[in-house]
Structure 1
Amino acid sequence: MTMLKTSTEELLAAANEAILFIANRPQVVMEHGEGMYIWDTDGNKYLDFIGGWAVTCLGHSPKVIKDALLEQSGKLIHASPGFYNKPMLEFARMLTSLSGLERVFFGSTGAEANESAIKLARKYGAVRKGGAYEIITTTRSFHGRSLATTAATGKIGWDRMFAPQMPGFVKVPFNDIEAVKQAINPNTCAILLELTQGEGGVYEASSVYIQELRKLCDEHGILLMFDEVQTGLGRIGAMFAYEHYGVVPDVLTLAKGIGGGFPLSAMLAKDAYNLFEAGDQGGTYTGNPLAMAVGLAVVGEVIQRKLPQQAAERGQYLLKKLHDVQERFGLTHIRGKGLLLAFDLPEPRGAELAAACLQAGLLINASGPSTIRLMPALIVTEAEIDEMMTLLCKIMDQLFQGADPQIS
């Protein structure tokens, strides 16, 4: 085995030879990051308003994560899922106290957390509702890339992926309470939805809709499950998105920001739904001590620095900046809350804009042909927002006003 050489060209050649294709990645290799910035192997610096896909809530390479990993790796890295470990119990107590849900299962990815919620809902249907197994989800939703979560997802075209898909998911339009009422039947065991559809383009559930869902679930004895993989842990201006609605779910899933970049997820449930029997659920890395130590450090930092409140304030600042240039660039439907925001372009040139921004040293996400999504770290400053807006406006001037596309 030979070691990889350090030139970017050779690294990319190695990637093309060895990495299984799953996405059209830009021809850059990221090497290190600090705070709101990330650098590639050629030394180019990027202002990151993707945030590791809403993951790096504390920015890149925060000291609290490095310290937690160093300390815990000197004590215990893995003890097998057959044993408790101290940071697992401490982190469980922290999350249950924060959320008001009494039980937690730990995983590594958002898909794993949502898969666990689906399993729990079907277990509930089996033991409490005469074998009910159907779960209502919404169009435009995204719940993960496992076979079950792919089937649960409501994105266009996903209903044909990896056929035959797992049955038992009923899709209804988002924010349509009448459609939910019509979909409920004796086989329904749960409703699963995002309070803000992140991958779907940043669309928020209305308060009336969520409150009515809570009533419907109580009336019919079905579980209300919130996928907060993207919105949880402060991203939209509260520790959990459901706090904006005055509604507590029966089941809650978390990932992304919970580990600040370390693979970590959680499914929380009310004690009444502590229904799994031995062998029903598990995983080699559930409650891994390293992950638990990181989770404790990250969530502790989010609390100590009052980052949910800061996300709300920075989000309002960024929204104002976007509205200030709305007419200039023909932007529409500026939307979102906290630091999960989006806007629509006057033309379907989102991918082109994102690529041009990459060349200029700015990372943004085109979540649709005309939609741009912004999800920076919760630590972002007003100065960094100003820097982002300067870069973004410069590129939009070039693309939409006919200026020279070269970046000076």
Structure 2
Amino acid sequence: MTAPFPALLPTYNRTPLSFIRGEGSWLVEASGARYLDLTSGIAVNALGHAHPALVEVLHEQAQALWHVSNLYRIPAQEALAQALVDQTFAETAFFTNSGTEAAELAIKMVRKYWSDKGDARTTILTFEGAFHGRSTGAIAAAGSEKMTKGFGPLMPGFKTLPWGDHDALRAALDDTVAAVMIEPVQGEGGIRPLPDQCLRGLRDLCDQTGALLVLDEVQCGMGRTGKLFAHEWAGITPDIMMVAKGIGGGFPLGAVLATAHAASGMGAGTHGSTYGGNPLACAVGAKVVEIITADGFLDAVNRKSALMRQKLEGLVASHPDLFEDVRGQGLMLGLKCRAPNTDIVKAAQAAFVLTVPAADNVIRLLPALTITEEEITEAVTRLENAAQSLH
């Protein structure tokens, strides 16, 4: 007898854990077991689980108003847009529900910009190992067979270049290219930071050819690398930027930030979202931005990231048969593994610490930005126990 098809579409190979409560850097499973969380919901819970200030603002907004649609002005949305404009390169913002939706708007914004100029430019350069979401446009942009197989025909207009191949980039980036789309630090691709000098060189090439520079900071933004946004380390600014994950602190929220120049084609009727920028999401997002940009917060992130890297490098040195090196920036760190990364993720889980795999045989360590130094020490101790168990 054929088993019934699952009520929940089986698109995930889920770990058999059911978490019922979270607090800060800790998650409690249905069994009562406590896990130290180094995933943060894949860089989403930037301020940890159940942050009191976020719980308070969400509760207050939920008692007042949940949804009215973008047919009307939404004061919380306008306040969050102004806060982001004040803190970044951007002159305008549009709110989405996810990073994938932000990627779709970024693509549309690029195409509309060139269409309004009467120019036939449509090609967007992207890079091997990229991840921009799972919509048809986003998978076409990334171009990997793992994401695109079986979903053709794909949206045209993307050219994927090898990661780190400067010659290929210079050859491809001419005055027929509409934009370059890149993550300053690849997340799914294996925690691969783009060196500052490369990002500065890319900005120069875009300026020379007129191409727009689109940065995907969905995973590496919102304080994750020790700056509000990762591109700030290089001292450059993009034309368009995709934001999500950490901006909502766990509540679904994304955004596209842009200069007025790059967004000039996006007038009334060119884009929309039923839920994007709803009062609940924007009230939480505004509080997240307020906390992360407060004096001293990012300084603390950088201190903690230095401590965590130091301890991880000790772990690598102690287990050269399991680990190769530490990579990443801020609290967006990766352990490049010699043993299969999935084995190490499972061993860590058995040691009650949660990590997440990535490409290039890497495990990602994406703790809450509010993790304490004591919790960092405990996390690496548990990873040490996991490593010992694999011997």
TM-score exceeds 0.5: yes
Q: Find out whether 1:355 has 2:355 as its counterpart.
A: no
Q: Which residue of 2 aligns with 1:11?
A: none
The percentage of counterpart residues that share the same residue type is 36
> For 1:302 and 1:55, how far apart are their aligned partners in 2?
14
Return the letter of the residue paired with 1:195: P
Aligned match for 2:127, one of 118, 126, 138: 138
Query: Which secondary structure does the structure 1 equivalent of 2:36 belong to?
Result: strand
Q: Find out whether 1:299 has 2:284 as its counterpart.
A: no
Between 1:293-302 and 1:70-79, the stretch displaced more is 70-79
**Taking structure 1 as the reference length, what is the TM-score of the superposition?**
0.91
Q: CA deviation at 1:159?
A: 4.3
Aligned match for 1:148, one of 120, 137, 150: 137
Give the total of aligned pairs.
385
Q: Which residue of 2 aligns with 1:280?
A: 270
Query: Which secondary structure does the structure 1 equivalent of 2:261 belong to?
Result: helix
Asked whether the equivalents of residues 134 and 147 of structure 2 are also in contact (C-alpha less than 8 Å), the reply is: no
Query: Which secondary structure does the structure 2 equivalent of 1:252 belong to?
Result: strand
Asked whether the equivalents of residues 90 and 257 of structure 2 are also in contact (C-alpha less than 8 Å), the reply is: yes
Aligned match for 2:15, one of 18, 26, 42: 26
Asked whether the equivalents of residues 338 and 361 of structure 2 are also in contact (C-alpha less than 8 Å), the reply is: yes
Superposed CA deviations along residues 119-157 of structure 1, whole A, max 9, x for unmatched, are 000111211251211100011111001110011114453
Q: Find out whether 1:393 has 2:384 as its counterpart.
A: yes
Q: Which residue of 1 aligns with 2:112?
A: 123
Asked whether the equivalents of residues 177 and 212 of structure 1 are also in contact (C-alpha less than 8 Å), the reply is: no
Q: Which residue of 2 aligns with 1:367?
A: 358
Between 1:258-267 and 1:69-78, the stretch displaced more is 69-78
Q: CA deviation at 1:276?
A: 1.1
Query: Which secondary structure does the structure 2 equivalent of 1:136 belong to?
Result: strand
Q: Which residue of 1 aligns with 2:33?
A: 44
Query: Which secondary structure does the structure 1 equivalent of 2:11 belong to?
Result: coil
> For 1:380 and 1:155, how far apart are their aligned partners in 2?
34
> For 1:129 and 1:306, how far apart are their aligned partners in 2?
47
Return the letter of the residue paired with 1:194: E
Q: Find out whether 1:252 has 2:244 as its counterpart.
A: no
**Taking structure 2 as the reference length, what is the TM-score of the superposition?**
0.95
Query: Which secondary structure does the structure 2 equivalent of 1:142 belong to?
Result: coil
Q: Which residue of 2 aligns with 1:342?
A: 334
Asked whether the equivalents of residues 135 and 192 of structure 1 are also in contact (C-alpha less than 8 Å), the reply is: yes
Query: Which secondary structure does the structure 2 equivalent of 1:272 belong to?
Result: coil
Between 1:65-74 and 1:239-248, the stretch displaced more is 65-74
> What is the 5 A alignment of 1:4-403?
17-128=6-117, 130-155=119-144, 157-273=146-262, 274-304=264-294, 306-330=296-320, 331-347=323-339, 349-368=340-359, 370-399=361-390, 401=391
Q: CA deviation at 1:313?
A: 1.3
Return the letter of the residue paired with 1:301: I
**CA 1:100–1:184: 2 relative to 1, 3 Å:** closer
> For 1:260 and 1:306, how far apart are their aligned partners in 2?
19
Superposed CA deviations along residues 210-237 of structure 1, whole A, max 9, x for unmatched, are 1111111111111001100011110001
Asked whether the equivalents of residues 177 and 213 of structure 1 are also in contact (C-alpha less than 8 Å), the reply is: no
Runs of 5+ unmatched residues, structure 2: none
> For 2:265 and 2:226, how far apart are their aligned partners in 1?
32
Asked whether the equivalents of residues 314 and 382 of structure 1 are also in contact (C-alpha less than 8 Å), the reply is: yes
Query: Which secondary structure does the structure 2 equivalent of 1:373 belong to?
Result: strand
- Measured on the aligned residues, the alpha-carbon RMSD in Å equals 1.6
Query: Which secondary structure does the structure 2 equivalent of 1:33 belong to?
Result: strand
Superposed CA deviations along residues 340-373 of structure 1, whole A, max 9, x for unmatched, are 00122222x2111111222221101121473111
Q: CA deviation at 1:277?
A: 2.6
Q: CA deviation at 1:325?
A: 2.5
**CA 1:387–1:156: 2 relative to 1, 3 Å:** farther
